[in-house]
Amino acid sequence: MNRRRCATAAITVVCALTVLASPALALPAAAAPLPPAPPAAPGAPAAPKKTLDEVRKEIDALYHQAAVATDAYNLAEEQTKEQSAEIVKLARMIVAGREKIDRLKAQAGAAARAQYRNGGLPDGAQFVLTDDPQLFLDNAGRLQQGQKATRDLLAEMSRTQAELTTYAKDAGTNWTKLEANRVKQAEAKKDIDAKIAAARKLESELEAEELERLRQLERQEQHRAQTAWLGTGVLKGLEGKATARGKQAVEFATAQIGKPYVWGAEGPGSYDCSGLTQSAWGAAGRVIPRTSQEQWRLLPRVDIKDMRPGDLIVYYKDASHIGMYIGDGAMVHAPRPGRNVTIAGAGSMEILGVVRPE
């Protein structure tokens, strides 16, 4: 019977591990082919042609929305990993608890068999019926010990059973959270794909010359923002030097220059923005949160005037983008889909604040 229960418990853990090991969602290397645009209704007036700058702003907004959805996807993925690990831990604890119950039941059975061999009388009854005073005195302590052992055995069985009930309840709760986060991942993935597809559709409708002009407008806007940021005198007196770990993080991040941005990616062949910063600091021996929003929320904040290489610069009011400061007013980051890891001006986007992983 014990062997059968142990086998059943082992199968429970194996099944849990098998289910949890399966990937939640595969990360696409690129968006799916774009569907053709629907034809205009007959007789409908043609939509006014957008200026190239309007197209640029629309594309930027779509990629920004995709970045927000990517953060939601990454957070759900991290929570799924944590809950999966917790379920495995609980499954193992349930197995151990069942094995302990079996051992305690075996001890109780041994006590019952011993009582049967003594004529079916409990030790207390045999103790009272003896007419030997010396035996009475010799067995007094032994009887008390035996009664205590029996009480302890029953109490231990009760505690273990209560623990098993709690473990099972916690495992059920974590399964519910796990499935909820898998739903969040699927919704975020759908949103990301839709925003990227819409942005690429806009880009696909441009001629080669317009695409090049679009790139020039992007660079001009980044240069304008960087120049305005530097014009505030932000770098005056900025003398913070990188620590040994900070140097390691910067070296790792800059070594990834040229690798493509892929949402949800953590390397080694591609990265999203927070995947790059997390991996860089991981290479320096510091574990930091997965998403840009969590990095902003949980890591210590520093004033820009105290910034040093290795610090992370968080962008936009919703903390949807992040890069690593490398010194001289520059940062390295994974920009967006269709772009590669690169160096850019630290002030080329709207800065929310700076955090320090150490």
CA distance to 62, 162, 312, per residue, from 344 (Å) = 21, 58, 14
Q: Which of 15, 64, 223, 273 is catalytic?
A: 273
Four-point Cα dihedral 170, 175, 181, 187, nearest 10: -150
Q: Could you tell me which of 200, 167, 178, 159 has the C-alpha nearest to residue 59?
A: 200
Contact 12, 94 (CB under 8 A): yes
Contact 243, 231 (CB under 8 A): no
Q: 35-38 contacts: CB < 8 A, separation 24 or more?
A: 37/201, 37/205
Q: 56-61 contacts: CB < 8 A, separation 24 or more?
A: 56/214, 56/217, 56/218, 56/221, 58/202, 59/199, 59/202, 59/203, 59/214
The two structure tokens encoding residue 240: 């913070």
Q: Catalytic annotation on 321?
A: yes
Q: Catalytic annotation on 333?
A: yes
DSSP codes joined into one string, 260-323 = BB-TT-BSSS-B-HHHHHHHHHHHTT----SSHHHHHHHSPEE-GGG--TT-EEEETTTT-EEE
Instruction: Report the alpha-carbon distance of residue 324 to residue 358 in Å, rounded.
Output: 13
The two structure tokens encoding residue 313: 């610069």
With vertex at residue 64, the alpha carbon angle to CA 262 and CA 209, rounded to the nearest 5 degrees, is: 80
Q: Catalytic annotation on 64?
A: no
Q: Which of 6, 15, 223, 321 is catalytic?
A: 321
Task: Give the residue numbers marked as catalytic.
Answer: 273, 321, 333
